[in-house]
Every structure is written in structure tokens, then in C-alpha cells.
Amino acid sequence: MKGEKKTKIVKSIRIDVDKCNGCRACEVICSAFHASPKYSSNNPARSRIRIIREPLTDIYVPVYAGEYAVAECAGRDKYTIDGKEYDECAFCRASCPSRPEFKEPDSGLPLKCDMCEGEDEPLCVKWCLAEALIYEEREEEIDDVVEQAELEIGLDSLVDKYGMESLMDAVARMADKG
């Protein structure tokens, strides 16, 4: 029933920025895992984790792909880290129209970290030998309505990209295949 409370395991990854050395192994394994077929190629542009790099000052900040945003936000804050200035978008997790990060290079569809669905532990965590990525699990009460909202956000992005008619045609074809 809608609105009924239930619990689920919430997976998250804690990032220890001080330990990241910018090796980008996390980008490599993430893009390979999500290649089709799996592990057939790797392309960091397909990765759901990106390293914001400033090698001259040894700053590497892992950023995970989060939610899809239909429009760019009004945020124009600046960050200064070790004397180097970054704009707010540099560390943003959203797949958004104003920048190329977290978009599938061929289709332009938004990318979002799925915690390596089907794996016992996220692969970027396994491959991070510097231990900058730490996998954590906790149990949380969730609302069915929230899950419904997430589904609608995903569908909205497909409608924006392909139009309602094409999307409905594709769903009808998938239903026919059974």
C-alpha cells in the first residue's frame, strides 16, 4: 500500500579525500563494469565516479554521480582549497544540462551510481588500494512514495531526451517481447 513504512539497507560510500592519490582506478573499473557487454571496454566518461584533479597541488576529490537535474541550479559558490579556486559545479553530483559530467557519451542519458548492483561490494571500493573509499551499510525506514518519486525522475529524463511518444513506443515493444 502507498505510504506504508518499510525498511531497507541503505548502501553508502564514505570518501576520505586525504587518502585519494588520483590513480583513477575507480573510474576504470566503474566504466568497465557498466560497459556492454560487461568488462568489454573502459572509458572514464562512462564512469559513475569522477576524480576532480589538480595534480600540481596534489588535490584529488572523488565525486559520485547522483541525481538527474532537469535544469541547471542557481548555485555559484566558490571553493578555495590549498589556494586553488573551484566553482560549485566542480564537486556537484548531479547529471545536469550545464556540464558534460555524468552523461552516457553516446546517448547523453544521465548516469547515476547504482552501487554496482548485483555485486557484494562496490567495485570502486575494492579497486581503491589507497582506501580512500569506504563502503558502509545501514538500515533505514523508507516510504513507498519516495521510491515512486525516484522512478518518476528517471522517466522524466527519458521523456526529455526522447519524447513521450518514442518512450511509449519503446515500452510497448518491450511488453510485446514479453
- Give residue 90's identity as a one-letter amino acid code: A
- Please, what is the minimum distance in Å from the beta carbon of residue 20 to ligand SF4? 3
Nearer to ligand SF4, 41 or 166 (CB): 41
| Locus of grid cell 597541488 | 57
Nearer to ligand SF4, 100 or 163 (CB): 100
SS3 73: coil
Nearer to ligand SF4, 17 or 171 (CB): 17
- Please, what is the minimum distance in Å from the beta carbon of residue 10 to ligand SF4? 13
Nearer to ligand SF4, 48 or 103 (CB): 48
- Please state the length of the chain: 178
Nearer to ligand SF4, 54 or 159 (CB): 54
Q: Which residues in this chain contact ligand SF4 in the complex, by CB under 6 A?
A: 20-26, 29-30, 33, 48-49, 51, 60, 62, 64, 113-116, 122-124, 127-128, 130, 132-133
- Give residue 52's identity as a one-letter amino acid code: I
- Judge contact between 66 and 94, C-beta under 8 A: yes
- Please, what is the minimum distance in Å from the beta carbon of residue 101 to ligand SF4? 13
Pairing of β 78-81 and β 84-87: antiparallel
What residues contact 71, with CB distance under 8 A and at least 6 apart? Answer: 96, 97
- Please, what is the minimum distance in Å from the beta carbon of residue 129 to ligand SF4? 7
What residues contact 121, with CB distance under 8 A and at least 6 apart? Answer: 135
Helices 144-162 and 164-177 cross at an angle (nearest 10°) of 110
- Please, what is the minimum distance in Å from the beta carbon of residue 66 to ligand SF4? 10
